[in-house]
Amino acid sequence: MNTKLQRLKVGIAGLGTIGKSLAMALDKGMPGLELHAVAVRDPAKSAQWREMLINPPMIVDFDRLAECDIVVECAPASLMSDIATPVLQAGKKLVVLSSGALLERPELLQLAKDKAAQIIVPTGALLGLDAVTAAAEGVIHSVKMVTRKPVRGLLGAPYLEKNNIKIDGITAPTRIFSGTAREAAVGFPANLNVAVALSLAGIGPDRTLLEIWADPSLERNTHTISVDADSASFSMTIENIPTDNPKTGRITALSIISLLRKIGAPMRVGS
């Protein structure tokens, strides 16, 4: 006898560039999943867009996202606690894009443990996290990442403003930061979630080293990772095409779509 599997309810927190791309992909259909609800700070702004979907989801507040089985956070990092707490309290799965915010809120990880919930950090705009997590089962000696971005993608970062670093008039590649992933998460909260994801996959935010370069000649966000471990040494580079938001690469939304699609797929490739 064939039994139709119940579809998992997906909620989205935030309807910016990534949130809208994800909602549209879910609306077109993914095996085992349905777009159940979205939460935004200003529902009126999203009402017209919602009606463009085949199966419009409910527009709810952040608390009601806990009714979903899986919630994807696509919002500013400052809203992390408001979004994550009710979802984790309900024992559900939370996909986190603002991974840098997790470093400042260790209580969320403890809550996930206590409630048998799960925090999922997607690959996002990076590459090779499968290799890094595999290497972390052994001994990783060092991890370094060099990020190069167009100037417009870095403007307004708190680190630049705090240190009075002006980059809007530079004419050559300029290194604007050198430090740890933890420090970068504080100084560049809208730019360097990729560094935090890398650190969580490997040797942690205090041992993962990072350089950030502003390059006026670039059109793409470029990340190069170098890892030295007892199992392998490897180096990888990715050049991400930005969306309309220069701080976000197009592949970020696709990474989440890929993650969700694997949940209901009959075969999964990659660890």
- Tell me which residues are annotated as active site: 223
Vertex 133, ends 132 and 137: CA angle to 5°? 110
One-letter amino acid of 230: D
Q: What are phi and psi of 145, to 5 degrees?
A: -130, 135
8-state DSSP, 270: -
**Kind and range of the H or E run holding 22:** helix 17-28
Longest dimension (CA), the chain: 68
CA 248 to chain CA centroid, nearest Å:
10
> Is 195 in contact with 211 (CB distance < 8 Å)?
no
Contacts of 124 (CB under 8 A, 6+ apart): 97, 99, 193, 194, 197, 251, 252, 255, 256
Order across the sheet with 118-120: list the strands.
58-60, 33-39, 8-13, 70-73, 93-96, 118-120
Long-range contact list for 27-31, CB < 8 A, 24+ apart?
A: 27/53, 27/54, 27/55, 28/54, 30/257, 30/260, 30/261, 30/264, 31/261, 31/264, 31/265
